[in-house]
Structures are given as C-alpha cells and as structure tokens.
Homo-oligomer: A and B are copies of this chain.
Amino acid sequence: MNLIDGKALSNTIKEEIAAEVSKICKGQKRPPHLAAVLVGEDPASAVYVRNKVRSCEKCGFESTLIKKRENTTEDELLEIVKELNEDEDIDGFIVQLPLPKHIDENKITLAIDPGKDVDGFHPTNFGKMAQGLPAYLPATPFGIMTMLDRYNIEVQGKNCVVLGRSNIVGTPISILLSRKAKPGNATVTLCHSRTQNLADYTRKADIIVVALGIPNYLKADMIKEGAVIIDVGINRIEAPERKSGYRLVGDADFDEVSTKCSHITPVPGGVGPMTVTSLLTNTLQAYKSNFLNK
C-alpha cells in the first residue's frame, strides 16, 4: 500500500508557486493578491481562512482578510463583493462558507465576478468546467486531480466510483474524472444516498472517491484488491485518550482498507492540504489573466 501524501505534495506545489511568483515579480511587479471575506465567528471557518492567508504569505502573495461581524447584512456583504470585483489590485477572492443563516449564499456566490471566483463555486465556472472549457476548478476536486496526476495514477479507461454528490466535491469530481483530458477519460459512476446495492459498484472500482461525511464508512469488503482510495472525509470522533478529546478520521476505515488497496490518502494529511494549494494555483492563474496579461 502506498500513501498519497497530500501534505508533502502541497508543500512541493507551494514551493513551485513561490519560485514562479518570485521569478515573475523580481521585486518590480506587484505579486498576486488574494482577498478572503470572513463573516461571523465560526471557529472552523476562522481556522480555514487563517490557513489560506498563511499559505498566501508562504508563496509570496499579498493577502487581505476582511472580517465582518456576525450580523452583517446581505446588502452590506453584496457591497463588499462589488468592491472586490472592481478592485484592480485584487486578482481573486473568496467568501468563506458557511455564511450566517440570514444571508443567501447563492446570491453572494452569484454576485462574485466569475473571473475572480478562485473558489470555482460560481455557476459560470462550474458550467465551463463541465463543458471542458478553461475555468477555475473548485478546490477539493482540483486537489484530487492534482494528486492523481502527480502520483502518476492511471485514470484513463478506469472504473471510477464517486460516493457523494455534493456541489463542492462529489458532483464536480465525477465530472472532472470523466472529461476528455489528462487526468480524466475514466468511466465514472456517481453514487449517493439513494443508490441501491452500493457495494456492487465499489467492489468493481479501480478508483474510489469517498465524500460522504460518514466516519469509517468504506470497509475492506467493499473494495477490490489494489484499488485506489481517495478519502475526502474529515470526521471528528471521540478519543478520550487524547488531550483534545477527539481525533480526525476519514470516510474510509483506514486500518481495514489500507491492507487491501494500492494507494490511499490519509486523514489528516491527504486531500485536506491540497485544497489550499488549489486556491493558490487558481489565484496565480487569476493574477496572470487579470493583471499580467490584461
């Protein structure tokens, strides 16, 4: 069994981006600039955003963190989005989700200029991705595609099964894997809560992407010998022996599955670290399109 080390790969790619940025800028041009908007006090969101900002700095990007109080109105947030859309010094930006309940997330996402939507959540980017046009890819699927590519895992012609059909992982990764591209050209089955006899699909799969949010769901008897397992789940389970009182596990039962598969992404340290890398890659691309080649 081979570990797909997302943390190490993420660091490698960040170094590549930093080197490219330094070569482009040479202290003469302004560097890429990512802005992040955080509304409210959700502690997990705060951690994610801090990670993104820190990664920007590591790569020589500028970053701007806009923190707004929980009771920010939808109109106020739309106004911020408008200003960021128009600000030529900002190449791309994200609005950290989830937003407080009184704000319509779809409305905010739709207000973002697709050319600055480095999260790849705007329908225009999503549609371009699905149609095989150049687009900012959503972070998690993009990270998975990068891992498959850098680990030289053959995807073309393979039987791929995706578990979970969310808009941010399952649906887009199923589309990307089946596209006429490299990596891509797989035969993809998208399974979800209404799928009957799910193990019939997973047992035949060469590659399984599991993104259900159910701790230790995928067991050894559900996969075939030598399968590649991409585990998107990040679930907290109780662990009284730890100081924190919990530990993180994926959607695959690592101890079981790792004895049978050929490759697996660990949790933590697999898919997770790659999502920030995707955001940086998208921002570098936005910098090239919106600033360098404008």
Residues of A within 8 A of B (CB): 106, 122-133, 135, 156-157, 159, 165, 167, 171-172, 174-175, 178-180, 185-192, 194-196, 201
Contacts and interface: CB of A to CB of B under 8 A. Distances in A.
A178 B165 contact: yes
A53 to B, nearest CB: 27
A135 B179 CA distance: 22
B192 A178 contact: yes
Nearest to A189: B189
Q: Which of A128, A131, A165, A201 has the most CB of B within 10 A?
A: A131
Nearest to A120: B127
Given A157-B195, A189-B187, A190-B187, A167 B132 contact: yes
Contacts of A156: 194
Contacts of A187: 189-192, 194-196, 201
- Main secondary structure, interface of A, reads mixed
A202 to B, nearest CB: 12
Contacts of A122: 127
Contacts of A124: 123-124, 127
Contact of A190 (B123, B128, B132, B178): B178
13 contacts: A106-B133, A123-B125, A123-B126, A124-B124, A127-B129, A130-B130, A130-B172, A131-B167, A156-B194, A157-B195, A180-B192, A185-B192, A187-B189
A188 B185 contact: no
Contact of A194 (B133, B185, B194): B185
Contacts of A201: 187
Contacts of A175: 130, 171, 175
A131 B179 CA distance: 18
Contact of A133 (B123, B190, B196): B123
Given A123-B128, A123-B131, A127-B128, 10 more contacts: A123-B123, A123-B125, A123-B133, A130-B167, A165-B178, A165-B180, A171-B175, A187-B190, A187-B192, A187-B196
A193 to B, nearest CB: 8
Contacts of A106: 133
Nearest to A165: B178
A56 to B, nearest CB: 27
